[in-house]
Structure 1
Amino acid sequence: MGKAFCLRQASVNQQLKIVTVSAQGELGRRIRDMGLIPGTEVRVIGKAPLKDPVALRLKDFTLTLRNSEADHITVESLED
């Protein structure tokens, strides 16, 4: 596994594992309610033309996050 970095910096089609979610309060609860918790594997499946929002695939569903939300999520690449 590689060095941890912010989810916003991930590339399309990159397979990742969530390391930490640093958001607090309502935003942190909402992110965790979407299934974005440490240990979860996700794949970036797309980014809008202006790079916001980012589309993620996890388990059996797709969700999108604004960059302001993705900034609170630290991930590691599962690829070499």
Structure 2
Amino acid sequence: PKKKVGKKVAAAPLAVKKVEPKKVTNPLFEKRTRNFGIGQDIQPTRDLSRFVKWPKYIRIQRQRAVLQKRLKVPPPINQFTQTLDKQT
């Protein structure tokens, strides 16, 4: 079998590395790694806004927005978006 001789891609230009000055750290403010295991450090507060029981008018306006986006395409046409590929 013959080897294919194709075009060679141009080498990337050599990037000039900038020498960054090392930041001076204050020994009074040293960072300590926290352990979030059971009985260890308190876990950071999570964003629980998704699990909030929202007021009814907010839930309705969000559901309405989703429905409006979904109902742009008529259902008889939309059914052809969920077709199988040739493999299966």
Identify whether the pair has TM-score above 0.5, normalized to the shorter chain. Answer: no
Q: Give the TM-score band, short-chain normalised.
A: under 0.3
Greater Rg, structure 1 or structure 2?
Answer: 2
Q: Could you tell me the TM-score, scaled by structure 2's length?
A: 0.17
Which structure features the higher share of strand residues?
1
Q: Could you tell me the TM-score, scaled by structure 1's length?
A: 0.18
Report which structure shows greater RCO (CA 8 Å, sep ≥6): 1
